[in-house]
Amino acid sequence: MRIYNIDMNKGVLEAQVEDINDLFALWNFLRPGDLVEAITARKVKFEGTSERKKMKLTIVVEKLAFHEMLETLRIGGRIFSGPENFAPLGAYHTIQLRVGSKVKIMRSDGFSEAEIEVLKEADTLRRLNPIIIIAIERDEATIGVLTGRSLEIFSSVYQHISYKDASDATSLRNAFFKKVLELASEVMSKYRNISGIIIAGPSLTKEEFAEFLRRNLGDRVPIILDQASSGTEAAINEVLRRGTVLKITNEFLVASDLKDYEEFLEHLGRGDGLACYGLEAVSKAIEWGAAKKLLVIIDLINNPECTVRSKILEYIKRANDFRAKIRIISRVHPLHDKIKNFGGIIALLRYRLHGDLGERGMDSDI
């Protein structure tokens, strides 16, 4: 994202969208009540006919929708300013931002450093290439794609005739493998630069398919084998929880978050006081300098309640002062709903605190 004007105190930001990661970052950054100004098209009537006319409008943000496949961010709300003969104030309008769009954002209470960090994440996402994860067993395979933004289950393949003990087992198996390869090739053509492929499953099928894949792909993409209980979507989540993705790249954000979340659950299960959740418990851990990693859902940062929003931004600032690592969890992140159930914020601690914060949380303020 090319930001060519920003005033943190006045809450004014002007930028140009450079790729889909910028649209995703803006989707997380914007909140209801913001003013957004952009060139847009609106249907206007001329003597019995109508046409879409380009104009500059400012709207008050009410709704946001990020469409990854269409590479579009739709921002809906009431018109705040514009040419009144074509766009009456208070009328509803939707601005569509795409790659190349210029946008001006105005926020009455200014921007915090934590909020600007949400925009900066687009630069990190831009550097991360997707990883293909294939869960496979004898009669079923599921293909997922892990990007910096989210996990997408691409497709599943089923072998309706089992090739176990069949006279033509080899040909049936190869036909099944070919179907999976075709889907994997489709993913590779869609995403172009792939960091690697993880093949996981419960039996020798994964090794056989890996050899089949190497014969067809050569050395184009690194291939890693892993154990999983099935060829289903649940097996892909097993791979993510175990942190296998980090063998390909330690910078992969979603995989790292999932590994941290598993560590969080392990500490809660052991009751060792090295994890806590909820605003009250986490804020105490931050104040005592004990928090080493925070996972915070975007809903807290964009909370319409000013007091909640101010609290969380202050906590993030304090955590940053104590050199804690902070991850903002977007609404499409596979952990979003899980962390929301823990009050929207969880923490891994450097050391145990008195009072068993890890045993206690606080109801969600979202």
User: What pLDDT does residue 251 have?
Assistant: 57
Q: What is the pLDDT of residues 178-192, one digit of tens each?
A: 999 999 999 888 876
Q: What is the pLDDT of residues 254-264, one digit of tens each?
A: 878 888 999 99
Q: In the sheet where 140-146 sits, what is the strand order?
A: 151-158, 140-146, 131-136, 196-201, 223-227
Kindly give the pairing relationship between strand 325-329 and strand 275-277: unpaired
36 and 117: one domain?
yes
Any domain includes 45: yes
| Torsions phi, psi for 149 (to 5 deg) | -95, -40
Q: Which of 75, 73, 37 is nearest to 56 (CA)?
A: 37
Number of domains in the chain: 3
Tell me which of 196, 217, 251 is where a domain ends.
Answer: 251
Give the tokens for residue 349.
Answer: 């601690």
Any domain includes 54: yes
User: What pLDDT does residue 302 have?
Assistant: 79
Any domain includes 347: yes
Any domain includes 163: yes
Range of the domain at 280: 258-359
144 and 241: one domain?
yes
272 and 235: one domain?
no
Secondary structure of the chain in HEC code, one letter for each residue: CEEEEEECCCCEEEEECCCHHHHHHHHHHCCCCCEEEEEEEEEEEECCEEEEEEEEEEEEEEEEEEECCCCEEEEEEEEEECCCCCCCCCCEEEEEECCCCEEEEECCCCCCHHHHHHHHHHHHHHHCCCEEEEEECCCEEEEEEECCCCEEEEEEEECCCCCCCCCCHHHHHHHHHHHHHHHHHHHHHHHCCCCEEEEEECCCHHHHHHHHHHHHHCCCCCEEEEECCCCCHHHHHHHHHHCHHHHCCCCCHHHHHHHHHHHHHHHHHHCCCCEEECHHHHHHHHHCCCEEEEEEEHHHHCCCCHHHHHHHHHHHHHHHHCCCEEEEECCCCCCHHHHHCCCCEEEEECCCCCCCHHHCCCCCCC
Any domain includes 29: yes
84 and 58: one domain?
yes
- 364/251 Cα distance (integer angstroms): 30
123 and 143: one domain?
no
Q: In CATH, what number is assigned to the domain containing residue 264? A: 3.30.1330.30
Kindly indicate the confidence band of residue 359, based on its pLDDT and cuts at 50, 70 and 90: very low
User: What pLDDT does residue 261 have?
Assistant: 93
150 and 238: one domain?
yes
Tell me which of 251, 279, 297 is where a domain ends.
Answer: 251
180 and 165: one domain?
yes
Alpha-carbon torsion angle 13, 15, 17, 22, nearest 10: -40
12-24 b/e (C-beta count within 10 Å ≥ 16 → b): bbbbebbebbbbb
User: What pLDDT does residue 358 have?
Assistant: 46
Q: Does residue 357 have a pLDDT over 70?
A: no
User: What pLDDT does residue 155 have?
Assistant: 92
165 and 273: one domain?
no
CB 191 within 8 A of CB 144: no
CB 200 within 8 A of CB 239: yes
Tell me which of 112, 127, 142 is where a domain ends.
Answer: 127
203 versus 10: which is more confidently predicted?
10
Burial classification of residue 84, based on how many CB atoms lie within 10 Å of its CB (0-12 exposed, 13-18 middle, 19 or more buried)? exposed
Q: In CATH, what number is assigned to the domain containing residue 223? A: 3.30.420.60
User: What pLDDT does residue 252 have?
Assistant: 67
Kindly indicate the confidence band of residue 50, based on its pLDDT and cuts at 50, 70 and 90: confident
- 247/228 Cα distance (integer angstroms): 16
The answer to which of 125-129, 273-277, 292-296 has the lowest mean pLDDT is 125-129
User: What pLDDT does residue 145 have?
Assistant: 92
182 and 245: one domain?
yes
29 and 80: one domain?
yes
Q: Which of 174, 195, 82 is nearest to 129 (CA)?
A: 195
Any domain includes 366: no
Kindly indicate the confidence band of residue 113, based on its pLDDT and cuts at 50, 70 and 90: confident
Give the tokens for residue 164.
Answer: 């176990």
280 and 344: one domain?
yes
Q: In CATH, what number is assigned to the domain containing residue 103? A: 2.30.30.870
Any domain includes 262: yes
Q: What average pLDDT is seen over the chain?
A: 86
Q: What is the pLDDT of residues 124-177, one digit of tens each?
A: 666 677 889 999 998 899 999 988 777 889 999 998 766 565 567 788 888 999
Q: What is the pLDDT of residues 320-335, one digit of tens each?
A: 888 898 888 888 788 9
95 versus 51: which is more confidently predicted?
95
Q: What is the pLDDT of residues 218-265, one digit of tens each?
A: 877 888 899 999 999 999 988 888 777 777 765 567 878 888 999 999
149 and 243: one domain?
yes
Q: Does residue 343 have a pLDDT over 50?
A: yes
Any domain includes 365: no
- 58/66 Cα distance (integer angstroms): 19
CB 81 within 8 A of CB 90: no
